[in-house]
Amino acid sequence: MGLSSLFLVCVAAAMSSAFVISPPHMWSKLILTHHWPTTFCSMEHCHLNISYWTLHGLWPDKGIDCNSSWHFNSSQIEDLLPDMKKSWPDLLNPSSSGFWKYEWHKHGTCAAKAESLNSQHKYFSKALELYHKLDLDSILKKFDIIPSDKYYTFSQIEGVIENFYGVTPKIQCVHPSQNADVQILGQIEICFNPDFTLLDCERQTTMDEFTKESWDSPMGVGKPSGFSVCDHDMPVYYPSLL
């Protein structure tokens, strides 16, 4: 075999090896999503007296339902359950584990492509850890963003988060109708790099994010009562308990 042929064989082998070890559809960003129970329950007619921001999920920016054979098993996160029931409750069915099962299948099995999240316990415990470290609920209160009958500007809410955490969140609202003169605060996303350092979220909603929101929004983003990116120029209503 000549030198040129040998070189081509080596290049082909290297390319083949690189292809094999490169994880397909590896995500590049994690989205820690909080939702405001009062807004959610006004849409879904649930009745829970929860007056703090709860976890909605930890979502990688690529992939859905990446391993349908990897079934949720609550016994693997038994030590986390007391915290999950408080911080990550199923607002529709508080005694059910169905919401966590759903989040694991849709998002956790994709997050698990990273070694740091490659088990149910790693995934759920990391989501809880990030949620508690951010302590979004306390930070909003500290800077006088509290549920109220008065309206806030979008920049007031976004500014508190940007100034404290040093990154841009994605803030989502409910728009009750096309002609509404106020929007209702519903969901706040804060983003992380794969090493769990904070990262700016995209302000605009990409097509991928429209798809992702439809997995988890109770009404789907295509409907008027679903969550969508807040209008920066419209007053924001941050509702207190129903």
Residues 124 and 81: beta-carbon distance below 8 Å: no
| Three-state DSSP string of 109-164 | HHHCCCHHHCCHHHHHHHHHHHHHHHCHHHHHHHCCCCCCCCEECHHHHHHHHHHH
* Residue partners of 19: CB distance under 8 A and separation at least 6: none
DSSP 78: G
3-state secondary structure at position 55: strand
Q: Which of 34, 35, 103, 209 is catalytic?
A: 103
Active site residue 56: yes
* Residue partners of 101: CB distance under 8 A and separation at least 6: 72
Q: Which of 56, 158, 209, 213 is catalytic?
A: 56
Active site residue 232: no
Q: CA-CA distance, 149 to 236, in Å (whole number)?
A: 10
Q: Which of 105, 107, 175, 209 is catalytic?
A: 107
Question: Could you give the residue numbers annotated as active site?
Answer: 56, 103, 107
